[in-house]
Protein backbone atom coordinates (compact mmCIF):
# COMPACT_ATOMS: atom_id res chain seq x y z
CA UNK A 1 0.00 0.00 0.00
CA UNK A 2 2.81 2.44 0.85
CA UNK A 3 4.46 1.72 -2.49
CA UNK A 4 1.21 2.44 -4.29
CA UNK A 5 0.61 5.67 -2.38
CA UNK A 6 4.13 6.80 -3.24
CA UNK A 7 3.03 6.87 -6.87
CA UNK A 8 0.58 9.64 -5.99
CA UNK A 9 3.04 11.77 -3.99
CA UNK A 10 4.38 14.61 -6.09
CA UNK A 11 6.82 16.59 -3.96
CA UNK A 12 7.82 19.10 -6.67
CA UNK A 13 5.05 21.66 -7.24
CA UNK A 14 5.17 24.07 -10.14
CA UNK A 15 6.38 27.48 -8.92
CA UNK A 16 4.21 29.41 -11.37
CA UNK A 17 1.51 31.22 -9.40
CA UNK A 18 -1.90 29.61 -9.83
CA UNK A 19 -0.71 26.53 -11.75
CA UNK A 20 -1.34 23.78 -9.19
CA UNK A 21 0.64 21.07 -11.04
CA UNK A 22 3.07 18.87 -9.11
CA UNK A 23 5.65 16.30 -10.22
CA UNK A 24 7.54 13.25 -9.01
CA UNK A 25 10.90 14.70 -10.05
CA UNK A 26 12.42 18.16 -10.06
CA UNK A 27 13.54 17.70 -13.68
CA UNK A 28 9.95 17.06 -14.78
CA UNK A 29 8.79 20.16 -12.92
CA UNK A 30 11.54 22.25 -14.51
CA UNK A 31 10.60 21.01 -17.98
CA UNK A 32 6.95 21.85 -17.30
CA UNK A 33 7.82 25.35 -16.07
CA UNK A 34 9.47 26.09 -19.41
CA UNK A 35 5.98 25.96 -20.95
CA UNK A 36 4.91 28.88 -18.75
CA UNK A 37 7.87 30.94 -19.96
CA UNK A 38 7.49 29.84 -23.57
CA UNK A 39 3.80 30.73 -23.60
CA UNK A 40 4.75 34.31 -22.78
CA UNK A 41 7.52 34.27 -25.39
CA UNK A 42 5.85 32.74 -28.47
CA UNK A 43 6.45 35.72 -30.68
CA UNK A 44 7.51 34.01 -33.93
CA UNK A 45 4.29 33.18 -35.77
CA UNK A 46 4.30 30.92 -38.82
CA UNK A 47 4.18 33.01 -41.99
CA UNK A 48 2.04 30.48 -43.88
CA UNK A 49 -1.44 31.93 -44.31
CA UNK A 50 -3.98 30.20 -42.09
CA UNK A 51 -1.47 28.24 -39.99
CA UNK A 52 -1.30 30.31 -36.81
CA UNK A 53 1.38 28.22 -35.02
CA UNK A 54 3.77 30.28 -32.90
CA UNK A 55 7.29 29.55 -31.69
CA UNK A 56 9.78 30.82 -29.15
CA UNK A 57 12.56 31.21 -31.71
CA UNK A 58 12.92 32.10 -35.36
CA UNK A 59 14.84 28.84 -35.87
CA UNK A 60 11.94 26.73 -34.58
CA UNK A 61 9.56 28.64 -36.82
CA UNK A 62 11.85 28.06 -39.81
CA UNK A 63 12.04 24.32 -39.02
CA UNK A 64 8.25 24.18 -38.83
CA UNK A 65 7.73 26.07 -42.08
CA UNK A 66 10.23 23.86 -43.88
CA UNK A 67 8.86 20.58 -42.48
CA UNK A 68 5.15 21.32 -42.77
CA UNK A 69 4.68 23.87 -45.54
CA UNK A 70 7.56 23.99 -48.03
CA UNK A 71 8.52 20.34 -48.31
CA UNK A 72 12.24 21.24 -48.37
CA UNK A 73 14.56 18.42 -47.33
CA UNK A 74 17.95 20.04 -46.70
CA UNK A 75 19.37 17.37 -44.39
CA UNK A 76 20.22 14.14 -46.25
CA UNK A 77 21.01 10.96 -44.34
CA UNK A 78 24.78 10.52 -44.22
CA UNK A 79 24.67 6.71 -44.46
CA UNK A 80 25.88 5.61 -47.88
CA UNK A 81 23.06 4.35 -50.05
CA UNK A 82 20.20 5.46 -47.81
CA UNK A 83 18.88 8.33 -49.93
CA UNK A 84 16.46 9.72 -47.33
CA UNK A 85 16.44 13.46 -46.57
CA UNK A 86 14.80 15.48 -43.80
CA UNK A 87 13.48 18.95 -43.11
CA UNK A 88 15.44 19.37 -39.87
CA UNK A 89 18.78 18.23 -38.52
CA UNK A 90 17.06 16.70 -35.49
CA UNK A 91 14.81 14.57 -37.72
CA UNK A 92 17.91 13.41 -39.59
CA UNK A 93 19.71 12.55 -36.34
CA UNK A 94 16.72 10.54 -35.15
CA UNK A 95 16.66 8.65 -38.45
CA UNK A 96 20.42 8.02 -38.48
CA UNK A 97 20.20 6.42 -35.04
CA UNK A 98 18.15 3.66 -36.67
CA UNK A 99 21.11 2.74 -38.89
CA UNK A 100 23.21 1.98 -35.80
CA UNK A 101 20.93 -0.80 -34.57
CA UNK A 102 22.06 -4.41 -35.05
CA UNK A 103 19.09 -5.86 -36.99
CA UNK A 104 18.08 -3.73 -39.99
CA UNK A 105 14.84 -4.40 -41.82
CA UNK A 106 15.52 -6.37 -45.00
CA UNK A 107 12.78 -4.67 -47.03
CA UNK A 108 14.18 -2.41 -49.73
CA UNK A 109 13.98 1.28 -48.83
CA UNK A 110 12.68 0.78 -45.29
CA UNK A 111 15.68 1.95 -43.28
CA UNK A 112 14.32 0.85 -39.90
CA UNK A 113 16.47 -1.28 -37.63
CA UNK A 114 15.88 -3.12 -34.39
CA UNK A 115 17.74 -4.17 -31.28
CA UNK A 116 16.77 -7.83 -31.64
CA UNK A 117 15.94 -10.28 -34.40
CA UNK A 118 12.42 -11.07 -33.16
CA UNK A 119 11.42 -7.39 -33.25
CA UNK A 120 12.81 -7.05 -36.77
CA UNK A 121 10.97 -10.16 -37.98
CA UNK A 122 7.70 -8.93 -36.47
CA UNK A 123 8.15 -5.54 -38.13
CA UNK A 124 8.83 -7.06 -41.56
CA UNK A 125 5.25 -8.37 -41.64
CA UNK A 126 4.11 -4.80 -42.36
CA UNK A 127 5.86 -4.92 -45.74
CA UNK A 128 3.80 -7.79 -47.07
CA UNK A 129 1.08 -6.29 -49.28
CA UNK A 130 -1.76 -8.76 -49.24
CA UNK A 131 -5.49 -9.02 -48.82
CA UNK A 132 -4.93 -8.26 -45.12
CA UNK A 133 -2.68 -5.25 -45.91
CA UNK A 134 -4.01 -3.74 -49.13
CA UNK A 135 -2.93 -0.11 -48.46
CA UNK A 136 0.67 0.24 -49.71
CA UNK A 137 2.67 3.37 -48.88
CA UNK A 138 2.61 5.89 -51.74
CA UNK A 139 5.80 7.66 -50.66
CA UNK A 140 8.22 5.11 -52.05
CA UNK A 141 8.79 2.65 -49.20
CA UNK A 142 7.53 -0.91 -49.08
CA UNK A 143 5.24 -0.69 -46.05
CA UNK A 144 1.61 -1.74 -46.30
CA UNK A 145 -1.31 -1.22 -43.93
CA UNK A 146 -4.62 -2.76 -42.96
CA UNK A 147 -6.40 0.62 -42.93
CA UNK A 148 -6.12 3.73 -45.10
CA UNK A 149 -5.88 6.03 -42.05
CA UNK A 150 -2.83 4.08 -40.82
CA UNK A 151 -1.25 4.59 -44.25
CA UNK A 152 -1.98 8.33 -44.11
CA UNK A 153 -0.35 8.61 -40.66
CA UNK A 154 2.70 6.74 -41.94
CA UNK A 155 2.99 8.95 -45.02
CA UNK A 156 2.98 12.07 -42.84
CA UNK A 157 6.22 10.79 -41.32
CA UNK A 158 7.81 10.59 -44.76
CA UNK A 159 6.93 14.22 -45.33
CA UNK A 160 7.82 15.32 -41.80
CA UNK A 161 4.34 16.81 -41.30
CA UNK A 162 3.00 16.92 -37.77
CA UNK A 163 -0.54 18.25 -38.24
CA UNK A 164 -1.85 17.66 -34.72
CA UNK A 165 -0.80 20.43 -32.34
CA UNK A 166 -0.98 19.98 -28.59
CA UNK A 167 -4.25 21.46 -27.31
CA UNK A 168 -2.68 22.88 -24.13
CA UNK A 169 -2.37 26.67 -24.38
CA UNK A 170 1.23 27.70 -24.85
CA UNK A 171 2.58 24.26 -25.74
CA UNK A 172 4.37 24.21 -29.10
CA UNK A 173 4.53 20.42 -29.51
CA UNK A 174 2.95 18.77 -32.56
CA UNK A 175 2.37 15.15 -33.52
CA UNK A 176 1.83 12.75 -36.41
CA UNK A 177 -1.05 10.86 -34.78
CA UNK A 178 -3.85 11.53 -32.33
CA UNK A 179 -2.55 8.75 -30.07
CA UNK A 180 0.91 10.41 -29.92
CA UNK A 181 -0.78 13.72 -29.02
CA UNK A 182 -2.96 12.07 -26.33
CA UNK A 183 0.09 10.37 -24.81
CA UNK A 184 1.94 13.70 -24.69
CA UNK A 185 -1.02 15.61 -23.25
CA UNK A 186 -1.55 12.99 -20.56
CA UNK A 187 2.14 12.94 -19.60
CA UNK A 188 2.85 16.65 -19.84
CA UNK A 189 -0.46 18.34 -19.10
CA UNK A 190 -2.75 15.88 -17.29
CA UNK A 191 -4.47 17.19 -14.17
CA UNK A 192 -2.34 16.59 -11.11
CA UNK A 193 -3.21 16.31 -7.45
CA UNK A 194 -4.84 19.40 -6.07
CA UNK A 195 -6.75 20.34 -9.22
CA UNK A 196 -9.69 18.04 -8.62
CA UNK A 197 -9.31 17.49 -4.89
CA UNK A 198 -8.03 13.93 -5.27
CA UNK A 199 -4.56 12.42 -5.11
pLDDT at 65 over 80: yes
pLDDT confidence tier of residue 198, bands split at 50, 70 and 90? very low
Mean pLDDT of 64-73: 81
pLDDT at 193 over 60: no
- Cite the beta strand spans of 50-110 per DSSP E: 54-55, 75-76, 85-86, 103-104
Mean pLDDT of 46-67: 82
Q: What gap in Å lies between CA 148 and CA 30, rounded to an integer?
A: 40
Q: What gap in Å lies between CA 172 and CA 103, rounded to an integer?
A: 34
pLDDT at 1 over 60: no
Q: What is the pLDDT of residue 195?
A: 41
What predicted TM-score, i.e. pTM, was given to this entire model? Answer: 0.37
Per-residue pLDDT of 74-130, as tens digits, reads: 889 898 888 888 888 888 888 888 777 778 888 877 777 888 888 888 888 777 766
Q: What is the pLDDT of residue 194?
A: 43
Q: What is the pLDDT of residue 5?
A: 58
pLDDT confidence tier of residue 197, bands split at 50, 70 and 90? very low
DSSP-assigned letters across all residues of 108-154 = TT---EESSHHHHHHHHGGG--SSS--EE-SSSS--EESSHHHHHHH
Long-range contacts for 41-45 (Cβ within 8 Å, ≥24 apart)? 42/170, 42/172
pLDDT confidence tier of residue 36, bands split at 50, 70 and 90? low
Amino acid sequence: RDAHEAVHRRPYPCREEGCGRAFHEAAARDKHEVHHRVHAELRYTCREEGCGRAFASAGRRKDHERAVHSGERLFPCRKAGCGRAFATASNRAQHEALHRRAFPCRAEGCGLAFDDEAARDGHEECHRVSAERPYACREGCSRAFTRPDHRRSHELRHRGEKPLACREAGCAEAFFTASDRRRHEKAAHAPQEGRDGRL
